[in-house]
Structure 1
Amino acid sequence: MERLQKVIAHSGVASRRHAEQLILDGKVKVNGKIVRELGTKVGPNDDVEVNEVPLVKEVPVYFLHYKERGVISAVSDDKGRKTVTDYFPEVEERIYPIGRLDYDTSGLLLLTNDGEFANLLMHPRNEVEKVYVAKIKGILFRENVRKLERGIKLEDGMTAPAKMKVLSADKKKNTTIVEITIHEGKNRQVRRMFEAVGHPVIKLKRERYASLDLSGLQPGDSRELTPHEVKQLRTLAQSPGKK
């Protein structure tokens, strides 16, 4: 289920703000009835009309993108910086990223126009795993590995337990390369977790998302997910006790 104004905006009929005004003005119908509540949510089987014109429902599309550093995980940017959707000039559907990778982080990012699918993957209770490789300052010793594995207290709450694997350490350069697996999506979470134990991140890349990886892709490349991959992701997120 998605908010009505968001559905209208994604259809291309109006901006989010204009869509809200159309709802308040009584110009939007859901299943034949005028709706004036901005909090109204609709699903894929609901019929929405704006000014008596039915919204055209887009065919759902799903993409895997290898995000480069220095790119915004958004549909647009008020500072004019490059966004991930700039890499899809031929795609007519109004796609948007599922979650985000921050400006300085590279790696695997999913994009879609399927809001239900996006919400399913992003909800923390569904525990969809994301695997990152980080290059951090300092040598990461077992004590701090354990802290990260148990969960770190951040200003917006405790993180869930993480899976950790130290890949290498360079004593001369005083750096460590480590793999970390999480299933949450707090803002800049991985970076903040390492900072909390005194190891700022130098470089960060998301290597895997559930069963998906970046095989065959270069930075900036994309590919469509296969129907089987989409089905796998849905099943994974909807299956209790799957871990």
Structure 2
Amino acid sequence: MRLQKFMAQCGIASRRKSEEIIISKRVKVNGKVITELGYKIDPLQDIVTVDGKRIRDREKKVYIMMNKPKGYVTTVSDEFNRKTVLDLVKDIKERVYPIGRLDFDTSGLLLLTNDGELAYKLIHPKFEVVKTYIATIKGRPSEEELERFRHGLEIDGYITSKAEIEILSSIDDKSVVRIKIHEGKNRQIRKMCDKIGHPVTSLKRISIGNLELGTLKKGCWRYLDNDEIEYLKKI
């Protein structure tokens, strides 16, 4: 098994983050520092340590849905001492981390887990997991602007993948729109709306694939049920 995959299964971090940890020379296999990302281990025989502490794939896998409030960052810790989403799940014994991100000013559905393989699958664009958002934006986009949004926009030096956008309502100088994307670039929806001249004033994620936020209250969380877990694993 590849070293980064084993680390992800042990709940150390997502596979991508585990690769960063390996490169930073924090991982040893049988006492030897490993920096090779393709390095393979035998999980049953090799001794793997991170920062000197042995890791084992024995932790119970947990899967959590949260309704993230605004004002929280989706990181394990924050250099500016801002509140993190982990502050909202302090009463569970397993070490979990968020799958993907919702920015500081965005609310809504966030998944947390210690299953690194599942986290990798849901984050990686090649699996094309659709995320649905409700956004309030300034003004009312024209059909031409909506088509530009749907067919891809150049932001931060790359062209976004095709997306869906639908106007749900317009009142005065604001519109409420439903947006669906399968990418997850930093502040992507906000940047896309800026690009067509209709900045976001509020943003909430309401679903990931077929998983819906439903009536879960803001700031609260729950465990996924067996059907929801099986659905995610089959993506």
TM-score range, shorter chain: 0.7 to 0.9
Q: Match of 1:3, SS?
A: helix
Structure 1: runs of 5+ lacking an equivalent: 237-243
Give the structure 1 partner of residue 213 of structure 2: 214
Contact 2:75 2:98 (C-alpha < 8 Å) held by counterparts: yes
Give the structure 2 partner of residue 36 of structure 1: 33
Contact 1:60 1:114 (C-alpha < 8 Å) held by counterparts: yes
How many angstroms does 1:36 deviate by?
2.4
Matched to 1:164, the amino acid is I
User: When the two structures are superposed, what TM-score results if normalisation uses the length of structure 1?
Assistant: 0.82
Give the structure 2 partner of residue 181 of structure 1: 180
CA separation of 1:17 and 1:114: change in aligned 2, threshold 3 A: closer
Structure 2: runs of 5+ lacking an equivalent: 14-19
Q: Match of 2:134, SS?
A: strand
Give the structure 1 partner of residue 12 of structure 2: 10
CA separation of 1:207 and 1:2: change in aligned 2, threshold 3 A: farther
Instruction: Among all aligned residue pairs of Structure 1 and Structure 2, give the percentage whose two residues are the same amino acid.
Output: 36
Q: Provide Cα deviations, 1:124-152, integer angstroms capped at 9, x if missing partner.
A: 01000000011001111111111111111
How many angstroms does 1:40 deviate by?
3.6
Stretches (4+) displaced over 4 A: 4-9, 16-22, 41-45, 51-54
How many angstroms does 1:93 deviate by?
1.6
Q: d(CA) in 1 for partners of 2:35 and 2:22?
A: 12
How many angstroms does 1:121 deviate by?
0.7
Q: Provide Cα deviations, 1:70-108, integer angstroms capped at 9, x if missing partner.
A: 111111111111100111111122211100000000000
Q: d(CA) in 1 for partners of 2:111 and 2:145?
A: 31
Matched to 1:231, the amino acid is E
How many angstroms does 1:234 deviate by?
2.0
Q: Match of 1:10, SS?
A: coil
How many angstroms does 1:50 deviate by?
3.4
How many angstroms does 1:49 deviate by?
3.5
Aligned-residue CA RMSD in angstroms?
2.9
Q: d(CA) in 1 for partners of 2:130 and 2:41?
A: 26
Q: d(CA) in 2 for partners of 1:160 and 1:234?
A: 24
How many angstroms does 1:3 deviate by?
2.8
Q: d(CA) in 1 for partners of 2:22 and 2:232?
A: 34
CA separation of 1:113 and 1:211: change in aligned 2, threshold 3 A: same
User: When the two structures are superposed, what TM-score results if normalisation uses the length of structure 2?
Assistant: 0.84
Give the structure 1 partner of residue 156 of structure 2: 155
Q: How many residues align?
A: 223
Q: d(CA) in 2 for partners of 1:165 and 1:45?
A: 50
Q: d(CA) in 2 for partners of 1:182 and 1:204?
A: 14
How many angstroms does 1:165 deviate by?
1.1
